[in-house]
Amino acid sequence: MTNTIKFKISLMMIIATLPCAVTTNAVDTGGKLKIVLAGDSTVTDQAGWGLGFANSLTADATCVNLSAGGRSSKSFRDEGRWQKVLDERPAVILIQFGHNDQPGKGPERETDPNTTYRRNLARYVDESRAIGAKPVIVTSISRRLWASDGIHINSILTGYVKAAKTVADEKKVPVIDLHAQSIEIYEALGQEGCERISPRNQDGSIDRTHLNALGGERFGALIANDLARVMPELKNSIRDMELPNSPHDWLSWLNVLQADDAAKEKLTGGALTGKRPRVVVSTDIGGSDPDDFQSMVHLLFYADVLDIEGLISSPPNQGRLRHLHEALDAYESDFEKLKRNSGKPFPTPKQLRNVSVQGAVDTAPKKGWSNPTDGSRLIIQAAQSDDERPLWILVWGSITDVAQAVHDQPAMKSRIRVYSIGSWNTQHDQAARDYLFENHPDLWWIESDTTFRGMYVGGEQQGEWSNLAFVERHVRHHGALGDLFYQKKRDIKMGDSPSLLYILQGNPDDPTSDHWGGAYQRTDHGQNYWTDDPNPELSVNRRPGAISVNRWRRDFLADWQARMDYARDTQASRKN
């Protein structure tokens, strides 16, 4: 965002008696600063500011969000959740309760702000310090309940907010007054502006308590920035972020975002808009380059928006079907979490194994084709189905099986769309590629020789968006699939993934238009052949077309990041 400076925050700051540096007590963070969040649903990743906070940390810190919907300062302890916070042995604990402590929440949750609530918070502070952690009290984010004038917020949490500040003062711990800040921001946004950061209830009404993804991202960044102010020793663990200049600038900031979103609306079409493509992937997974494992993990997290009709091991040379099964084994380990945490219709591991076959293991002879394989037969069978949708064939290795299928059944060409990652892959079976190019000029074919490199070269590479930091923060420790990705390669390459990105976002019928997976130029070879755009303005590091991919890097990584969370062990419910 331009013309903004760091948020000037009006918050109550209690000077704590703290050491000059904060050290971690945990043994499982690799030396990183561990911060744990303890609170109700307004702190969770799904309905509050938790994920936005975590995304605002540098690679030197890690966040564990143990907040849970519907919990109060009383029930959080009674259910054993506070003990889990202590068991993490964190360096810092952010504590926010109040919404579910109010009258009417039932005896198992209700507390009195002047007595039991204060005692609960004080005990949390004392027990945090007892394990060497530094507690920080966060006052409850306000509900968006408007007064009769429609201009001001009518807060029903003031008693609990006052009590929280009192405990912070008595215990000499830092406090972040999110309650006051949120009211100031809401009133600056107005009712219409607040709707943009509010989720919807199941009946379509506006949820006036929780935050949608946009609101969670911004409030999480605000909390992180506040934390650096009340605990300056944590400054190096929090990203240097640009935020609105003041609460009253939030509306301008939202208008800028809205304009950006409008610009991105030109990316019409694709699987993420509900248009499910039929897909066959031909991959040399298990070969000399581990990035096919990365792209397969990426693909499997989008299996709910695709009709995957074939996975073909098509090296040649190294790489076999067992390597495909290695990825599917990880998928099976995560499958129940993917279903539960996303609520989306992911295909079963058995369904994917049933359409996984071994393709060619040898290169084609000079003529470009030889004998049918299970891979080429699968392509033909899928192409000849009664489904009116075209069959997308994403080629991540040698194009051997595609060439064989086209040779054996040339009439199917009108039913297929080929997106192949060339360059190194082409060198592994030049004869098969040349056969298709020279003998089938009417084949619908995007051949990406350099554009695909925009997946890992250039674009937004700062902070969490760098090739290393993104994997460390958003892929590693995200289920068996995330760990498989990290095991094979610890940074983003995923050179085959632009073929998937192409069918996810953008009009797949027009390769010359913008897509997450690049924009391509038609050549004089034929009306149905496109390749890298030589426009110098789209080149990076002498890689023509790469900018047409990396310009969308933050968008497609952010979308994938949200999906990686499906594989995490817990997903808090949104309940208050």
Average pLDDT over residues 437-447: 97
Task: State the pLDDT at residue 570.
Answer: 52
Task: State the pLDDT at residue 256.
Answer: 55
pTM here is 0.58
Task: State the pLDDT at residue 201.
Answer: 85
User: Rounded to whole angstroms, how far apart are CA atoms 470 and 377?
Assistant: 39
Task: State the pLDDT at residue 242.
Answer: 64
pLDDT in tens, 343-357: 888 999 999 999 999
Walk me through the domains of the chain, giving residue ranges and CATH numbers: 33-263 (3.40.50.1110), 275-567 (3.90.245.10)
Average pLDDT over residues 37-56: 94
Residues 6 or more apart whose CB falls under 8 angstroms from that of 448 comprise 419, 420, 421, 422, 498, 499, 518, 520, 531, 532, 545
Task: State the pLDDT at residue 571.
Answer: 41
Task: State the pLDDT at residue 29.
Answer: 54
Task: State the pLDDT at residue 91.
Answer: 97
4 band by pLDDT with thresholds 50, 70 and 90: very low
pLDDT in tens, 183-217: 999 998 888 889 889 988 877 889 999 998 888 98
Question: Phi/psi of residue 455, each to 5°?
Answer: -65, -35
pLDDT of residue 253 exceeding 90:
no
Task: State the pLDDT at residue 85.
Answer: 97
261 band by pLDDT with thresholds 50, 70 and 90: low
pLDDT in tens, 32-41: 899 999 999 9
- DSSP class of residue 141 equals P
pLDDT of residue 328 exceeding 70:
yes
pLDDT in tens, 446-497: 999 999 999 999 888 877 888 999 999 999 999 999 999 999 999 999 999 9
Residues 450/544, Cβ–Cβ less than 8 Å: yes
Task: State the pLDDT at residue 258.
Answer: 58
Task: State the pLDDT at residue 424.
Answer: 80
441 band by pLDDT with thresholds 50, 70 and 90: very high
Task: State the pLDDT at residue 137.
Answer: 98
Task: State the pLDDT at residue 272.
Answer: 93
User: Side chain identity at 91, as an amino acid letter?
Assistant: A
Task: State the pLDDT at residue 262.
Answer: 52
Task: State the pLDDT at residue 266.
Answer: 64
Task: State the pLDDT at residue 294.
Answer: 96
pLDDT in tens, 60-104: 899 999 999 999 999 999 999 999 999 999 999 999 999 999 999
pLDDT of residue 6 exceeding 50:
no
User: Rounded to whole angstroms, how far apart are CA atoms 202 and 185?
Assistant: 26
Longest dimension (CA), the chain: 86
Which residue did the predictor score with more confidence, 266 or 408? 408
Within its chain, how far is the Cα of 208 from the centroid?
Answer: 25
Within its chain, how far is the Cα of 528 from the centroid?
Answer: 34
Average pLDDT of the chain, as a whole number:
89
Task: State the pLDDT at residue 305.
Answer: 95
Residues 304/341, Cβ–Cβ less than 8 Å: no
Find residue 312's DSSP bridge partners: 282, 357
Task: State the pLDDT at residue 340.
Answer: 87
